[in-house]
Copies of this chain bind each other. A is one copy, B any other.
Amino acid sequence: MERIGFIGTGVMGRPMAANLLRAGYPLSIVARDSAKAASLLALGASSYASAEELARVSDVIILMLPDTKAVEQVLFGSRGIAQGVKEGSIVVDMSTISAAETVKFSSRLEAMKCDLLDAPVSGGESGAEAGTLGIMVGGPQRAFDACSRIFSTMGKTIVYAGPSGCGQKTKLVNQLVGATNLLGAVEGIRLARAAGLNLETTLKVVTSGAASSWMWTNLGAKILQEDFAPGFSMRLQYKDVSLLKDMTVELGGDYPATRLVYALFEKAIELGLAQQGNQGLINLWGPDGDYSI
């Protein structure tokens, strides 16, 4: 079995790495915080002091990091992967980052005879734990094929989306559709509340028909319980719609839903809602129906 290096063992990365360990993969991590890493070490993970050292002993290096900058740093920074990586290794970046930067990173690694796959995921913490993530993969087909068993250990719906950057682009389509559905759910609940309707009844009947969505059913229920804890934080949602906005600007053309969700999540961050779950979008409006801001 391939020796896997896993960098970024946070809320998403930790259960993903745990599933790989349980499937029998030898797996290394960079454990700066040994308390956080304890559950993976208990499952048999090895620990290295830097990405460079981890890269020396890994055939496949998986990244699950918060943003483009963090990925660049781990790949090409001091004591980074590029300093230790072996010829023929595959780097699998499962973070959600810029598609344009991904293509540049891919070229730089190619010069070192390494393939880069961009393989962002959907399905959140629960999908990571259950091993049922959606995984959207861009990069060389041969690298995708080589990693198919690794992907199926972490995910359920795994698609090859095309050359480098296409995984990230597919993820941004996903984020556009999801963010727009979330706006629909939030505005639907606001309207029901303003009209004096019973919210439970409304949630139930809308769920039963053509207006149903994952966002309405799942985050709608959280809003009714006034549960604004992050499954997916507003901060990350804003990061993703920012990447989405950049993509539409690059492509040119009219993308009104993108424009609207970007503007609303930007306001939500300005209002200090970054640490709430993305369902906290509803807190952008006060009880009078106008912006709280």
Query: Which A residues are within 8 Å of any B CB, using their own CB?
Result: 122-124, 127, 134-136, 156-157, 159-162, 166, 169-170, 172-181, 183-185, 187-188, 190-192, 194-198, 201-202, 204-216, 218, 232, 247-248, 251-258, 260, 264, 285, 288-291
**Contact in complex: B195, A173 (CB < 8 Å):** yes
Q: Do the beta carbons of A288 and B206 come within 8 Å of each other? A: no
Copies in the complex: 2
When chains A and B are docked, how far (Å) is the Cα of A101 from the Cα of B230? Answer: 42
Decide if B214 touches A212 in the complex (CB within 8 Å).
yes
5 contacts between A and B (CB under 8 A): A123-B209, A176-B191, A179-B184, A210-B218, A211-B215
Measured between beta carbons, the chain B residues less than 8 angstroms from A196 are: 162, 166
Tell me the smallest distance from the CB of A162 to a CB of chain B, in Å.
7
Tell me whether A209 and B127 are in contact in the complex, defined as CB-CB below 8 angstroms, given that A170-B197, A172-B191 are known contacts: yes
| Nearest opposing residue in chain B for A259, CB measure | B260
A177 and B206 within 8 A (CB): yes
> Are B201 and A289 neighbours in the complex by a CB distance under 8 Å?
no
* Cα distance, A205 to B122, chains bound together (Å): 9
Beyond known contacts A174-B188, A184-B184, A195-B251: 9 more, CB 8 A cutoff: A123-B210, A172-B191, A174-B206, A176-B187, A177-B185, A178-B184, A187-B256, A213-B216, A254-B290
Instruction: Find the B residue at minimum CB distance from A169.
Output: B195
Question: Within the complex, which residue of B156, B179, B180, B201 is in contact with A159, where a contact is CB–CB below 8 Å?
Answer: B201
CB pair B170–A201 under 8 Å, yes or no, is yes
Task: Contact check, A181 vs B211: say whether CB atoms are below 8 A apart.
Answer: yes
In the complex, chain B residues whose CB is within 8 Å of the CB of A256: 183, 187, 260, 264
Name, among A170, A247, A255, the residue most crowded by chain B CB atoms within 10 Å (CB to CB). Answer: A170
B197 contacts A169, C-beta separation under 8 Å: yes
A186, closest chain B residue (CB) = B257
For the complex formed, measure the closest distance between the CB of A94 and the CB atoms of chain B, giving whole angstroms.
14
Q: Which chain B positions have C-beta within 8 A of A178?
A: 184, 209-211
A157-B124 contact given A197-B173, A251-B195, A285-B253, CB 8 Å threshold: no
A196–B175 CA distance with the chains assembled, in angstroms: 17
Smallest CB–CB gap between A173 and chain B, Å? 5
